[in-house]
């Protein structure tokens, strides 16, 4: 199980170069779907690999072997278990599990607090005007989705740019980008090595909303100006909010001011690369799980054929 164990843990190291290759070559919508799916698969695969290795160590515990009807001695003969590695995987899995739980709890608390705060305002057509000169604008899920924008942000933009900014935020809500965001956030909590890939996925979400806004407004230049002015006037939104000021703004503005290029071969190659990496990671975990299952079955057969190999406290078990 050595190779099958290490592949899912090492592949996330390719997250940074993978992100740099994929994002410029894929349309934002495709990049968002592929990168988010890739983050989830790679996070799940690495977690499963740690879980399998930790469980392999537990199979040598007499009480667990007794409950599973297998022989620890026979199992260790079929494929020796690296006990220190199993213990290390168990500890690391516990730490990552706590980080995952903490992130999920933080998101739930942030969502409830934001909903309560926005409920204090009287929304008009889903748009809440926040009193204050600090330029702020973001979209928030819940209650059917709402857009919050401050008086300071409205003052910083012209009429056409306000429409473009609102179109960007509406795109986030209409396309359910918050679901993508929480997925990649939780994936990064499960495996911190995936943070570059998750950041690239978040950038792709902003680009997707930019393109949707440009299509709604009918003017890419206006959207680019709105994004640039909003970023200069405001600040990145804390927490889990999606906003037009998110991501590397200069790259977004440059993409909006450049006509979309059709690079089908590069796009197909990038998509194949992401699918190949994630598929390889998932397959190795399945192979490792299959190997462990077969080893346990072999150890169970030995226990059935040779009752004496089980722990002494198993002597009274009804075979």
Percent of the chain with pLDDT over 90: 35
35 domain residue, yes or no: yes
Query: Residues 164-193: pLDDT tens digits?
Result: 999 999 999 999 999 999 999 999 999 999
pLDDT band at residue 11 under the 50/70/90 scheme: confident
Query: Residues 69-107: pLDDT tens digits?
Result: 676 776 667 677 788 888 999 999 999 999 999 999 999
Q: How far apart are CA 209 and CA 229, in angstroms?
A: 16
216 domain residue, yes or no: yes
pLDDT band at residue 56 under the 50/70/90 scheme: confident
241 domain residue, yes or no: no
pTM of the model: 0.84
Domain that holds residue 31: 3-236
Which pLDDT value is given to residue 318? Answer: 38
Asked whether residue 239 carries a pLDDT value surpassing 60, the answer given is: yes
102 domain residue, yes or no: yes
DSSP string computed for 15-56: HHHHHHHHGGGS-HHHHHHHHHHHHHHHHHHHHHHHHHHHHH
* Range among 61-70, 227-236, 247-256, 271-280 rated most confident: 247-256
10 domain residue, yes or no: yes
User: How many domains is the chain built from?
Assistant: 1
253 domain residue, yes or no: no
23 domain residue, yes or no: yes
Which pLDDT value is given to residue 303? Answer: 56
Query: Residues 111-131: pLDDT tens digits?
Result: 888 888 888 876 656 788 888
Q: What is the mean pLDDT of residues 189-207?
A: 92
259 domain residue, yes or no: no
Which pLDDT value is given to residue 140? Answer: 84
Which pLDDT value is given to residue 82? Answer: 81
* Among 43, 44, 91, 49, CA closest to 191: 43
Which pLDDT value is given to residue 316? Answer: 38
């Amino acid at each position: 199980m050595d190779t099958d164990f290490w592949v899912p843990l090492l592949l996330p190291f390719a997250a940074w170069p993978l992100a740099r290759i994929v994002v410029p070559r894929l349309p934002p919508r495709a990049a968002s779907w592929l990168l988010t799916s890739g983050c989830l698969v790679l996070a799940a695969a690495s977690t499963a690999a740690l879980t399998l290795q930790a469980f392999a160590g537990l199979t040598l515990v007499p009480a667990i072997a007794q409950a599973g009807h297998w022989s620890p001695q026979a199992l260790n003969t079929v494929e020796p278990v690296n006990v220190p590695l199993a213990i290390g995987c168990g500890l690391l899995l516990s730490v990552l599990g706590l980080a995952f739980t903490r992130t999920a709890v933080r998101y739930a608390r942030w969502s409830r607090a934001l909903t309560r705060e926005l409920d204090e305002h009287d929304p008009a057509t889903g748009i809440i005007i926040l009193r204050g000169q600090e330029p702020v604008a973001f979209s928030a899920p819940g209650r059917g989705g709402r857009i919050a924008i401050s008086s300071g942000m409205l003052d910083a933009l012209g009429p056409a740019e306000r429409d473009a900014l609102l179109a960007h935020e509406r795109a986030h809500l209409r396309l359910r980008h918050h679901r993508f965001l929480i997925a990649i956030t939780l994936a990064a909590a499960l495996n911190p090595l995936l943070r570059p890939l998750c950041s690239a996925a978040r950038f792709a979400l902003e680009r997707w909303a930019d393109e949707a806004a440009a299509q709604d407004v009918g003017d890419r230049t206006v959207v680019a100006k709105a994004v640039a002015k909003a970023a200069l006037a405001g600040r990145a939104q804390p927490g889990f909010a999606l906003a037009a000021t998110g991501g590397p703004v200069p790259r977004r503005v440059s993409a909006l001011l450049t006509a979309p290029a059709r690079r089908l071969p590069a796009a197909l190659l990038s998509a194949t690369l992401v699918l190949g990496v994630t598929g390889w990671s998932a397959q190795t975990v399945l192979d490792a799980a299959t190997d462990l299952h077969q080893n346990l079955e072999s150890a169970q057969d030995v226990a059935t054929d040779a009752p004496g190999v089980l722990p002494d406290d198993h002597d009274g078990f009804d075979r």
